[in-house]
Each structure stands twice: as structure tokens, then as C-alpha cells.
């Protein structure tokens, strides 16, 4: 009995040492990034206006600009952008493929069980997009029995599967493929943010339109591995400063449009309005 108790004590002590080491590493997440001099940030690079490849073959967009500004403000001089899909973001963080995800990612309760989120730095409304010539669909109630395209692993996929149970939900690796199928008549609608839908419409001269009231109103935030508290605190501080000094609204005007009140709508969404 004494031997058994002694073994349990040793094992418990060893477990505490290991746990303490893990906690120390987690708490050193920001210091480690500063020492390394770079931070890996994931985005799709195919979801305008949030992240996409410009005519110089470089990542650009609202999330790219915010990510670079956050990195500068937390004291990490270099950003390495890693292209990945929405469906891989959570597992990619857990597998240490990148340090942050910044690509219009909504902090849902399901995701928050696996990764941590910063305070929000973006918000958008999701709408129904369809062909200009479609006169059958006007609002959410008309989607029963219709095929709806969504981006795989995105919050609009999870929302659609829960809320549009009578629709045929079809997933795509990125929004461009979904809108291509819509334009070619392979699906009836695309459930997308108004920003993304308008960007695809204008860039590709697609004969599409948004109809009905917003389906849902979603915040976006930076995601990071669980327990990286020093990184989370620093990112939150940077975001708060960027909201206060007008940087968020400046990037909104540049990448989304001059009339969208991003910071005002972030506050409205947080208040549940």
C-alpha cells in the first residue's frame, strides 16, 4: 500500500511538472514569436474582399492588411501567410501549421471548444445570391427544395445545415467555385456574405443579385491554439487600438467600400442588435 501510494505521488508530481512546462510554453507564445521574428497566419487567399491574390501575385485584402498591422503592433516584424481552406483552419491550428487564422472566421461555440479567439475585428451579413433572371426566390422561405452552395467548413455551411434543413446544401472549397456553378445554372443559390458576393459579381461581371433580408449577422476574429494567452492578450490590445485610432475603418474603406461602418456594426453585433 505504501509503495502504491509512493508511485502515485511520483506520477502526480511528474504530471504537474509536465503540465507546468506546457503552461509555461503556452504563456511564452508571444515571446517565442518575437524571438523568432515571424508569425504564420493562415487565410484562404481566395475569398475576396477578405483575402485574395492581387495582380502582383501577392496576398491582399482586408484580413491580410489587418493581420500585417496586428503583427507589427504585437512586435513581430515578419508575417508568413499560409493558404488553406476553411475546412482545415481549426485542425491546422491544433497541428501547429500556423500561429493564427485571420480570414473572416466566425468564433462559433463549436470552434471555441477547440481553439481560442481574439476580440472581433470584422462583421458581415449573409445573404441569398441568385441569378438575375430567377423570379422564384425572394427570401429564406423560398429555399425549400432548392440547391444552395456554401464554402466547406465555413460558418455559413454550419448555419445553412442547421437552418435550411429542407434545402440541398452543396459545399465548395472556395466561394469562386460556388459562384461559378451559380452563374452556370448548376445550383439555385449561394449563401454568402454580401461583401464576397458583390466582389465576385463585379470582378467577374456575373448576372447575379442578393435578395431578401440578411439571413444572419456574423462577427469575425483571429483564431489561435488553446492556451496561448500572451498572444491572445497582445492581439486583443492591437485590435482595440486599431478600432480606437480609425485603422479598422480605414482598411474597411480601402477593401470593402466607403460607406460600410465596420466598427459601428461590430458594436451592434456584440450588443445583439
**Residue 56 structural domain:** 9-124+219-270
Same-domain pairing of 13 and 107: yes
- Domain-embedded: residue 2: no
Model confidence pTM above 0.95? no
Q: Are residues 158 and 228 in the same domain?
A: no
What CATH number corresponds to the domain at position 251?
3.40.190.10
Q: How many domains does the structure of the chain reveal?
A: 2
Residues 41 and 161 in one domain: no
For residues 138 and 119, membership in a common domain is answered with: no
Domain-ending residue, one of 198, 217, 236: 217
Q: Which of 194, 217, 240 delimits the end of a domain?
A: 217
Decide: 195 and 49 in contact? Cβ < 8 Å: yes
Q: Please indicate, yes or no, whether residues 20 and 116 belong to a single structural domain of this protein.
A: yes
Strands annotated E in the chain: 38-43, 46-47, 51-53, 59-60, 78-83, 100-101, 115-131, 147-151, 168-172, 189-193, 208-225
Shared domain check, 239 and 117: yes
Return per-residue pLDDT of the chain as tens, 273 residues: 434 334 333 333 333 343 344 444 447 999 999 999 999 999 999 988 899 999 999 999 999 999 999 999 999 999 999 999 988 999 999 999 999 999 989 898 999 999 999 999 999 888 999 999 999 999 999 999 999 999 998 888 999 999 999 999 999 998 999 999 999 999 999 999 888 898 889 989 999 999 998 888 889 999 999 999 999 999 999 999 999 999 999 999 999 888 888 998 888 888 776
Measured between alpha carbons, how far is residue 27 from residues 23, 178, 208 in Å? Answer: 6, 41, 48
Residue 142 inside a domain? The answer is yes
The CA–CA distances, whole Å, from 138 to 104, 151, 182, 196 equal 26, 22, 16, 20
Backbone region of residue 272 per phi and psi (left: phi > 0; alpha: psi in -120 to 50; beta: other values): left
Amino acid at each position: 500500500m505504501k509503495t502504491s501510494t509512493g508511485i502515485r505521488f511520483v506520477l502526480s508530481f511528474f504530471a504537474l511538472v509536465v503540465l507546468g512546462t506546457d503552461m509555461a510554453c503556452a504563456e511564452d507564445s508571444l515571446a517565442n514569436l518575437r524571438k523568432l521574428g515571424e508569425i504564420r497566419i493562415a487565410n484562404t487567399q481566395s475569398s475576396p474582399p477578405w483575402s485574395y491574390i492581387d495582380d502582383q501575385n501577392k496576398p491582399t485584402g482586408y484580413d491580410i492588411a489587418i493581420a500585417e498591422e496586428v503583427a507589427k503592433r504585437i512586435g513581430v516584424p515578419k508575417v508568413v501567410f499560409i493558404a488553406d481552406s476553411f475546412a482545415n483552419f481549426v485542425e491546422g491550428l491544433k497541428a501547429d501549421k500556423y500561429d493564427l487564422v485571420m480570414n473572416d472566421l466566425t468564433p462559433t461555440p463549436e470552434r471555441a471548444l477547440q481553439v481560442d479567439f481574439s476580440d472581433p475585428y470584422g462583421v458581415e451579413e449573409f445573404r441569398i445570391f441568385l441569378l438575375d433572371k430567377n423570379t422564384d426566390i425572394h427570401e429564406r422561405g423560398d429555399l425549400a427544395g432548392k440547391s444552395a452552395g456554401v464554402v466547406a467548413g465555413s460558418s455559413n455551411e454550419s448555419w445553412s445545415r442547421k437552418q435550411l434543413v429542407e434545402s440541398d446544401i452543396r459545399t465548395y472549397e472556395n466561394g469562386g467555385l460556388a459562384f461559378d456553378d451559380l452563374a452556370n445554372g448548376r445550383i439555385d443559390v449561394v449563401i454568402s456574405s454580401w461583401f464576397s458576393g458583390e466582389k465576385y459579381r463585379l470582378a467577374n461581371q456575373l448576372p447575379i443579385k442578393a435578395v431578401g433580408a440578411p439571413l444572419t449577422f456574423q462577427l469575425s476574429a483571429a483564431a489561435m491554439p488553446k492556451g496561448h494567452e500572451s498572444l491572445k492578450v497582445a492581439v486583443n490590445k492591437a485590435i482595440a487600438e486599431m478600432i480606437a485610432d480609425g485603422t479598422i475603418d480605414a482598411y474597411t474603406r480601402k477593401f470593402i467600400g466607403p460607406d460600410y461602418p465596420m466598427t459601428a456594426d461590430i458594436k451592434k453585433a456584440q450588443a445583439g442588435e
